[in-house]
Amino acid sequence: MPGEEFAVETFGDVARYLQDLVLDSPDVGQFLEDLAVFSASRLSSPAHEVFCGITLIRRKKASTVASGNPCARLMNETENS
């Protein structure tokens, strides 16, 4: 989860990690936040930082916005305003 090392090397490791995220998250918002952090860290390299933002829009419910870092959060806010 946030702040921990992402020691996943294979597809199976990623699948197990994502399964744990789903099972350990207290709500959808926390799951999406953890997923955004994990995704950005997996796709980033020392030369290229990746930002990840996720917006979940459901019928008749409030939108849920999650971001991997403050820059992604700002981009989400700008996009959704």
Q: Provide the pLDDT for residue 81.
A: 66
Q: Rounded to whole angstroms, how far apart are CA atoms 1 and 73?
A: 18
Parse the chain into domains and list their residue ranges. Answer: 11-79
pLDDT at res. 6: 56
H helix intervals, the chain: 11-24, 28-43, 70-79
pTM for the model stands at: 0.74
Catalogue the long-range contacts made by 25-29 (C-beta closer than 8 Å, 24 or more residues apart): 28/56, 28/64, 29/64, 29/66
pLDDT at 75: 78
Give the mean pLDDT per block of 10 residues along the chain (81 residues).
Answer: 56 88 92 92 90 88 81 75 66
Kindly report the CA angle at 29 between 25 and 32, in degrees rounded to 5?
80
3-state secondary structure of 61: coil
Q: What local confidence, expressed as pLDDT, does residue 1 receive? A: 47
